[in-house]
Structure 1
């Protein structure tokens, strides 16, 4: 039963708070919110619905449903929208900053302390982190497949997207797979029923929303061309991180294979360093997208250290911000359009196919070399999916298990 909220509460639409108030509220959550995106949404509800009463249960549920429909980190987008509704544009920035910076700073410091160490690629702990990545990403892809490909039509679109990604293993191939599955769904799939979601008023005009959507799509198409023409390592890094942030559905865990494919083959970050950072990212509070800050700090090239970490931190969140701002002023009308809902269902299915390919290469191929590796990955997968063991503990067990395998 929903809790009754007194009439005097501040609603999401009221915008009667201050950016500083928003910042301190989200900073506390950024320092204490462990457990991944689903847990974050629980923390947000306890803080902003039950304790602070900035919005009611129905408004919060509607907002969560919308952000889970969009690409990007749902919990961070919910936080940005709450900040926007509470204190306008500065409130949005304050919410993102407070929730994101603690874990980003921790990961950058970890990267800077790790950069000078030698021989880490050969350590059993790193091999264990590679193996646990297989289990974590497999869990995420399986969960996405169940929710986003519940029928034969969408399962077929996922397979088509996977085949296109295998045929064209590049940024262009991924974008093409997304476009094709969206168009085929709009053309051939049965209409997807709308949920019981309601739109709310935000200080975003339709003009601003349109500009944000155009910029989102334009960057997704132009950045790969820039990276290919310039042959610049910086361009490749920025393009790969932006594309990874733009194609994530279902939570931050599935961003790993996209980032891995974007930075490891080019040599910008070694696979060993990437896996170490991914393990560290499991152990810090806040959004897993802050993993990009670690990558920026570890990268080889002009962007590295503090500058690289902060730049990539911003880049990976840009598509999530643009798509959120773009959709908010139109959602009331768009959610009733059967064609839009069906095309997005096809896009979601296409992302599942792309991530399925990335799970195989490079996540699986870089980690599973022996029967023992496969057995450990299977055990870790069981702990996550059947045992419901927290990911941070599973990461620790993976390191211990790999160390024991190295001894015996």
Structure 2
């Protein structure tokens, strides 16, 4: 009975956070700190910082991974699953309903869809600027950023991004080892190394075998699972980086139009919860509710497998200076990936007129200088865009 009440508690608290956590991954971590550390005392400040360090090390949605880890700390594997469902479900439902609304009413050419594309320009420009300041603060990392962006702009292929990330990790391990600082805090929790090895084996097996299975058994569910699982496995740098990876997988293949893709990305800025639930919108547009379920599960599954797999080995890994140095290189390259995505498809598809640019500038200014939350900026930009469109 005590275990059941603990599961219910985990789910209800995570769900409340899922409905109220606006502002992106950094804001999510602040909400978690207030709720789980300060108010409920489920873990100490040091333990919480340790979890953040681990999840920053892993690819995938860092804030969601921290929430999953806290759920596991509180209630084991089931607790982690319930924490993820609670935090993710609100935004999944909202974006699924939005996608259904767009499909049923054929709103691809509506004025407010254009407004959402403009929102995407403002939000990503803001993310690029702020991530660049933080992740590329010196000339060597700026050079890595510029080089990554240049390569991706000239060779805009999905495989190029994997190569860029791998090279950035190698360069970082060699050239940044003198500035990397390993984390020496104690491990907050662990599973057995056997379970960790099994989980990592499943992660690698799926990553290697899904493209092969998709090649020989051409089915929409297998194709979607392959795409979203692969993207969830290689995304470093947070939710905004998922945009270029998914765009290059889905738009050229004709699974979704560029306009519908960017409209959903703009809408995702206005809702609480993890940006990775953008996959729920895409899955719904592509293949209805079954597509939504496949896409959502597939993009988050790597996070579960990696958390369970890495925890038993994290103590040894984080004390290796080369690991931290490699991540410094990867983080700089991530900003380059964002810059390439900002130009195409975001800027080239979102900014078509002087009105588009002016409203995007308004949105960017509200985010960057007036420090307004993303959900409020989305509402303001959409309203202003529609009113100006009617007047002009």
Task: Please indicate, yes or no, whether the TM-score normalized by the shorter chain is above 0.5.
Answer: yes
Match of 1:102 in 2: 90
Match of 2:104 in 1: 116
Match of 2:386 in 1: 403
Contact 2:182 2:320 in 1 (8 A): no
Once residues 373 and 267 of structure 1 are traced to their aligned partners in structure 2, the CA distance between those partners, rounded to angstroms, is 26
Once residues 102 and 124 of structure 1 are traced to their aligned partners in structure 2, the CA distance between those partners, rounded to angstroms, is 26
Once residues 122 and 75 of structure 2 are traced to their aligned partners in structure 1, the CA distance between those partners, rounded to angstroms, is 40
Match of 1:286 in 2: 273
Choose the corresponding residue for 2:307, options 321, 324, 327.
Answer: 324
Once residues 210 and 147 of structure 2 are traced to their aligned partners in structure 1, the CA distance between those partners, rounded to angstroms, is 24
Question: What is the CA-CA distance between 1:159 and the residue it aligns to?
Answer: 2.5
TM-score normalised to structure 1 length: 0.86
Whether 1:241 aligns to 2:224 is no
Choose the corresponding residue for 1:362, options 318, 322, 345.
Answer: 345
Choose the corresponding residue for 2:320, options 337, 341, 345.
Answer: 337
The verdict on how the C-alpha distance between 1:221 and 1:373 changes in structure 2, with shifts beyond 3 A counting, is: farther
Question: What is the 5 A alignment of 1:2-401?
Answer: 18-118=6-106, 120-194=107-181, 196=183, 198-217=185-204, 219-220=206-207, 223=210, 234-299=221-286, 304-401=287-384
Query: SS where residue 104 of structure 2 aligns?
Result: coil
Comparing 92-101 with 239-248, which one deviates more in the overlay? 239-248
Question: What is the CA-CA distance between 1:231 and the residue it aligns to?
Answer: 6.6
Question: What is the CA-CA distance between 1:284 and the residue it aligns to?
Answer: 2.8
The verdict on how the C-alpha distance between 1:42 and 1:141 changes in structure 2, with shifts beyond 3 A counting, is: same
Question: What is the CA-CA distance between 1:219 and the residue it aligns to?
Answer: 4.4
Contact 1:17 1:87 in 2 (8 A): no
Question: What is the CA-CA distance between 1:49 and the residue it aligns to?
Answer: 1.6
Once residues 175 and 186 of structure 2 are traced to their aligned partners in structure 1, the CA distance between those partners, rounded to angstroms, is 28
Contiguous gaps of at least 5 residues in structure 1: 1-14
Question: What is the CA-CA distance between 1:355 and the residue it aligns to?
Answer: 1.9
Match of 1:6 in 2: none
Query: SS where residue 352 of structure 2 aligns?
Result: coil
Query: SS where residue 42 of structure 2 aligns?
Result: coil
Once residues 229 and 336 of structure 1 are traced to their aligned partners in structure 2, the CA distance between those partners, rounded to angstroms, is 43
Question: What is the CA-CA distance between 1:179 and the residue it aligns to?
Answer: 1.1
The verdict on how the C-alpha distance between 1:135 and 1:283 changes in structure 2, with shifts beyond 3 A counting, is: closer
Contact 2:119 2:360 in 1 (8 A): yes
Once residues 192 and 237 of structure 1 are traced to their aligned partners in structure 2, the CA distance between those partners, rounded to angstroms, is 40
The verdict on how the C-alpha distance between 1:140 and 1:86 changes in structure 2, with shifts beyond 3 A counting, is: same
Question: What is the CA-CA distance between 1:98 and the residue it aligns to?
Answer: 1.3
The verdict on how the C-alpha distance between 1:172 and 1:211 changes in structure 2, with shifts beyond 3 A counting, is: farther
Question: What is the CA-CA distance between 1:283 and the residue it aligns to?
Answer: 3.1
TM-score normalised to structure 2 length: 0.89
Question: What is the CA-CA distance between 1:34 and the residue it aligns to?
Answer: 2.6
Contact 2:224 2:291 in 1 (8 A): no
Comparing 265-274 with 333-342, which one deviates more in the overlay? 265-274
Once residues 139 and 198 of structure 2 are traced to their aligned partners in structure 1, the CA distance between those partners, rounded to angstroms, is 36
- Alignment deviations for residues 83-128 of structure 1 (CA, whole Å, 9 cap, x no partner): 111111111111111111122122212322331212x232221111
- Alignment deviations for residues 192-214 of structure 1 (CA, whole Å, 9 cap, x no partner): 33255524242422233344445
- Alignment deviations for residues 312-339 of structure 1 (CA, whole Å, 9 cap, x no partner): 1111112222332333222221112111
Question: What is the CA-CA distance between 1:281 and the residue it aligns to?
Answer: 2.4
Once residues 221 and 352 of structure 1 are traced to their aligned partners in structure 2, the CA distance between those partners, rounded to angstroms, is 27
- Alignment deviations for residues 259-288 of structure 1 (CA, whole Å, 9 cap, x no partner): 233222222122332333334323332222
Query: SS where residue 135 of structure 1 aligns?
Result: helix
- Alignment deviations for residues 355-386 of structure 1 (CA, whole Å, 9 cap, x no partner): 21111111111111233322322221111111
Once residues 283 and 354 of structure 1 are traced to their aligned partners in structure 2, the CA distance between those partners, rounded to angstroms, is 23
Match of 1:8 in 2: none
RMSD value, Cα: 2.6
The verdict on how the C-alpha distance between 1:27 and 1:133 changes in structure 2, with shifts beyond 3 A counting, is: same
Question: What is the CA-CA distance between 1:223 and the residue it aligns to?
Answer: 4.6
> What is the count of residue pairs matched by the alignment?
389
Once residues 384 and 194 of structure 1 are traced to their aligned partners in structure 2, the CA distance between those partners, rounded to angstroms, is 32
